[in-house]
Amino acid sequence: MAVSGAIVVGPDALGRSVAIADGRVVAVPPAAAGRLACADGMIEAGAVCAHTHLYSGLARYGMPPAHPPPAGFVEILQKVWWRLDRALDARSLRAAAYDYVARALIAGTTTLVDHHESPNLIEGSLAILVEACETLGVRALVCYGASERNFGRDEGRRGLAECRRVAASPLVRGLVGLHASFTVSDATAREAGALARELGTVVHVHVAEAQADVDDARRRGAAGPLERLFSLGALPPGSILAHGVHLDRAQVRRAADARCWFVHNPRSNEGNRVGYAAALSATERAALGADGWDADMAEEEAALERLARENGDAGVDGRLAAGQALAAERFGAQAEPLAPGSLGDLVVRRDGAVRHVVVGGRVVVENGALATGDFDSIVATARVEATRLWSRMAAI
């Protein structure tokens, strides 16, 4: 039974109940509130995936490997992701988004901070993502990552214009996206910052993910990508900087002092062999992201803990809490999860497994199953669209 509107979840095994009305946790539930019992479960705050790419949702369905294998980070982008993103059309993007969101919710992730690019489908692409997020019921921050890497300045302008089209809703907020310093001109970076200020939002951008981004910024006369973006006014307070692998602790602190958030993506960084983001432990404003991998934040946190041990990094506590604070900031909610005034997003686990998921007071996963869509049919569509996408990709 799916319940929407006002709801009381609990009491759980510890006797705790959480009431949600109008999307927020409330101290006193309305009389007509529905109930979700969980006497044998444990209520916890929903997880936030603070940087990801819904467009990569079909990669799990047999994406062909690149031949010959990419030699480094920029080749991984050129041979894999920048071909996949150019091959996307409306059908494949919709299928990717539904599959990615469904799996995220089932894993107990209640907010996705997405960074989108589909250069041959810019206009209207964010509406497809928003529709998937709202239908299945995940909270989302969305943006188009403006870039000039395919079609030049006009591509950058069209990317920013797409960011402007996102209307705020109870579950969705728009951000302004830049792909990364190394694929945008000064003018596009400047315009991104100005647009974010005009819209009352922030910029979401990849920063110093690999050494190539640093080298490029130096060639342009800046100390690095962070300094370049700051000097162009592209990082308003609250902006979201994915990666920061090739930054030092002083740079991280400076950006955090300017109220920026960082997002550590341990599995992605390991997979792309770009290094370990050791300097992020210089701030508490570092959240956790999946960067296109499954948005299962328990898996991501386990990878973080493993890599932190291997790298002698003792400063990785609180990354999931930082993601919750980031989401609360963008939605203007109380930052302490499950407290009155916070976002009405929670998970009930039993024996560690996700049983129920509630987002904004709507039950989106019940007894471990997606309650807001037909998971089997989402997967079947994704398989069909993936096959079509791989043949489109082969032609690029």
Nearer to Zn ion, 45 or 205 (CB): 205
The neighbour count for residue 4, using CB atoms within 10 Å, is: 14
Instruction: Choose one: 62-70, 154-162, 289-297, 339-347; the region binding Zn ion (CB under 5 A).
Output: 289-297
Residue 85 found at the interface with Zn ion (CB under 5 A): no
Q: Nearest approach, Cβ of 301 to Zn ion (angstroms)? A: 18
Q: What backbone torsions phi and psi does residue 317 show, to the nearest 5 degrees?
A: -65, 150
Residue 233 and residue 190 in contact, taking contact as beta carbons nearer than 8 Å: yes
Binding flag, residue 114, Zn ion (CB under 5 A): no
Give dist(CA 284, CA 263) in Å, integer.
Answer: 11
Least distance (Å) between residue 1 CB and Zn ion: 37
- In the shown chain, the binding pattern of residues 248 to 287 toward Zn ion, with x for contact by CB under 5 A and - for none, equals ----------------------------------------
Nearer to Zn ion, 240 or 348 (CB): 240
Cβ proximity to Zn ion: between 291 and 345 the closer is 291
Closest contact distance (angstroms) between CB of 82 and Zn ion is: 12
Query: Quick one: CA dihedral 339, 343, 344, 345, positive or negative?
Result: negative
Q: How far is the CB of 269 from Zn ion (least distance, A)?
A: 10
Q: Nearest approach, Cβ of 209 to Zn ion (angstroms)? A: 7
**Residue 148 contacts Zn ion per CB under 5 A:** no
By CB under 5 A, residue 366 contacts Zn ion: no
Kindly tell me which of 291 and 366 has the beta carbon lying closer to Zn ion. Answer: 291
Nearer to Zn ion, 76 or 255 (CB): 76
| Angle at the Cα of 231 from the Cα atoms of 228 and 233, rounded to 5 degrees | 110
Please say which residue, 291 or 296, places its beta carbon nearer to Zn ion.
291
Task: Tell me the CB-side half-sphere exposure of residue 239, using CA atoms within 13 A.
Answer: 29
Q: For the CB of residue 107, give the shortest distance to Zn ion in the complex, in Å.
A: 19
CB of 115 to Zn ion, least distance (A): 5
Choice between 188 and 372, CB closer to Zn ion: 188
Binding mask 166-205 for Zn ion (x = CB under 5 A): ----------------------------------------
Whichever of 173 and 267 has its CB closer to Zn ion, that residue is: 267
* Distances in whole angstroms, Cα of residue 208 to Cα of each of 11, 111, 247, 262: 45, 24, 7, 11
CB of 227 to Zn ion, least distance (A): 21
Alpha helices by DSSP H, listed for 60-124, are 73-76, 82-87, 90-106
Subset of 291-310 contacting Zn ion (CB under 5 A):
291
* Closest distance to Zn ion from the beta carbon of 395 (Å): 25
For 193-216, give the DSSP string: HHHHHHHT--EEEEESSSHHHHHH
Cβ-proximal residue to Zn ion, closest one: 291
CA pair distance 254, 232, nearest whole angstrom = 16
Specify whether the backbone of 81 is left (phi greater than 0), alpha (psi in -120 to 50) or beta.
alpha
Task: Name, in order, each residue with C-beta under 8 angstroms of 365's C-beta and a sequence gap of 6 or more.
Answer: 105, 106, 108, 354, 355, 356, 357, 371
Please work out the total of residues on this chain that contact Zn ion, with binding judged by CB under 5 A: 1
Judged by DSSP in three states, 358 sits in strand
Are the C-beta atoms of residues 364 and 49 closer than 8 Å to each other? no
Note the Cα 172 to chain centre separation in Å: 12
Nearer to Zn ion, 291 or 294 (CB): 291
SS3 147: coil
Give residues in contact with Zn ion (CB under 5 A). 291
